[in-house]
Amino acid sequence: MPVLGADMDEGTVLEWMVKPGDEVHKGDVIAVVDTAKSAIEVESFSTGTIEQLVVGVGETVPVGTVLALITEPGGERAKPARAAPAAARTPRELAEPEPTAPAGPAPHPVSPVIRHRAHELGIDLAAVHGTGRAGAVTRADVERAAVALHQVPEQPAAPSPAAPAPRHPRSRPEAEPRAGRARVTPRARRIAAELGVDLAAVTGTGPAGAVREADIRQAAGAGTPAPAAAASAARSAAERNQSMRQAIARLMARSKREIPHYYVTNTADMTQSMSWLHDRNRELEVSQRLVPAALLLKAAALAARQVAELNGYWVDGAFRPAEAVHLGVAISLRGGGLLTPAIHDVASLELGDLMARMRDLVARARSGRLRGSELTDATITVTNLGDQGVESVYGVIYPPQVALVGFGRITERPVAAGGLVGARPVVTTTLAADHRATDGYTGARYLTAMSDLLQRPEEL
């Protein structure tokens, strides 16, 4: 169970995207884990073959617990899939019984895109006959298999994530997939969870009695959630709010307890940026247009690259600079709470790409589909409260980061320039920084660098 944020102690496996015998590559999403804040897609730390899923769906385990075993290519020993970065725990896999050899033909090499498509369609790649070069499975093979619907994945019927069944991982072998139990497509499983349908009570009408989406919808009652299911969903939203509040409380209290914050503030003239943006957007379709926040984020990232003492982590009494600028972006969720997922390597992104990433990230943050790496990789965070109409924001640093950049609203103000007073768009920028890592002088250099960058928007 990886640490998906400094405030996480334990997590619940909501869904496995892989099964024993599947080939995975580093970075592939292999599971969905529920934390206090949201459901998060967990990526594999290594490349190899899934040997065993150690923690079952619905189980809650502390961070550092081995979730699955992966055999690396050429390796003989199974390795734990993504141990916690700071884990000093005894690997539990040594005490685990040897897993039985996975059934089914060995999987052919499959590209991540095809694998993703297969997952979407609920197709077991191991059972797909490849027609590509060297027997490789092609997209057409996968889609053909989906149409035929004869290849339902060999997955056990898992308890619905709502089922309160936290077990000790050691009891897992008894809960291994049982033959003869109804099979469920991943899509059906997800819909069952959304609608609050108990999978065990659903009769499958697919091949070999597999449970399909239609069966779930029927069980839920003519495609609409039953009142009871709706009520329980609402309750879990309230619970989510409460647990998120507590997670934020813990982390922010820790920040203010441990980090001696200092603050600097500046006013950046946005005349050049706004006029450049306006000219650029005039020629573009709505979907291609930029919002001012894209310029602000890019400037914040480039300035962090220039003033590298603010980009990194305070760990074990010393500052560790980060190689790239992964910009954490505070995103408020409808209904309360916030998440600060990272956009990777912002300093090297084109503005159009950055804009697309921002839109994607906000949409996924609000729908609960962020990836683990997005929640752990931020090297400096930005909060932009300008849309809420405030002039400035003095942030609280996300430990172990050492700085947080704040933007207020871009608004017209009387500004004196060359002995004349004129109305110009300006934005108040603030920096909260860790005084253990840097001094006010460094913070001042950062804000000045950012302001300078915003005067040359064409170079952003």
Partner 1 sequence: MTPDLAEAAIKEALGQVTPGADTTAIDADADLRDTLELDSLDFLRFVEILSERTDERIDEDDYPQLATMSSAVKFLAGRASR
Give the interface with partner 1 as residue ranges (CB under 8 A).
Answer: 278, 281-282, 286-287, 289, 291-293, 332, 334-335, 358-359, 362, 387-389
**At 385, is the secondary structure helix, strand, or coil?**
coil
| Least Å from the CB of residue 283 to partner 1 | 10
Q: 395, 432 in Cβ contact below 8 A?
A: yes
Q: 202, 213 in Cβ contact below 8 A?
A: no
- Taking the least distance from each CB to partner 1, the nearer of 289 and 413 is 289
- Taking the least distance from each CB to partner 1, the nearer of 266 and 332 is 332
Distance between CA 395 and CA 182 in Å, rounded? 51
| Least Å from the CB of residue 343 to partner 1 | 13
| Least Å from the CB of residue 326 to partner 1 | 20
| Least Å from the CB of residue 286 to partner 1 | 4
- Taking the least distance from each CB to partner 1, the nearer of 75 and 335 is 335
- Taking the least distance from each CB to partner 1, the nearer of 210 and 274 is 274
| Least Å from the CB of residue 335 to partner 1 | 8
| Least Å from the CB of residue 387 to partner 1 | 4
Sole residue written with tokens 């906000």: 362
- Pull the structure tokens for residue 205: 């009408």
- Pull the structure tokens for residue 250: 């813990």
- Taking the least distance from each CB to partner 1, the nearer of 292 and 312 is 292
Burial annotation 74-112 (CB, 10 A radius, 16+ → b, else e): eeeebbbbbbbeebeeeebbeebeebeebeeeebbebee
Per DSSP (E only), the strands in 157-272 are 261-269
Per DSSP (E only), the strands in 243-311 are 261-269
Residue 103: DSSP 8-state: P
Backbone angles phi, psi at 169, to 5 degrees: -55, -30
Distance between CA 111 and CA 441 in Å, rounded? 50
**At 408, is the secondary structure helix, strand, or coil?**
coil
| Least Å from the CB of residue 247 to partner 1 | 22
- Taking the least distance from each CB to partner 1, the nearer of 168 and 334 is 334
- Taking the least distance from each CB to partner 1, the nearer of 285 and 458 is 285
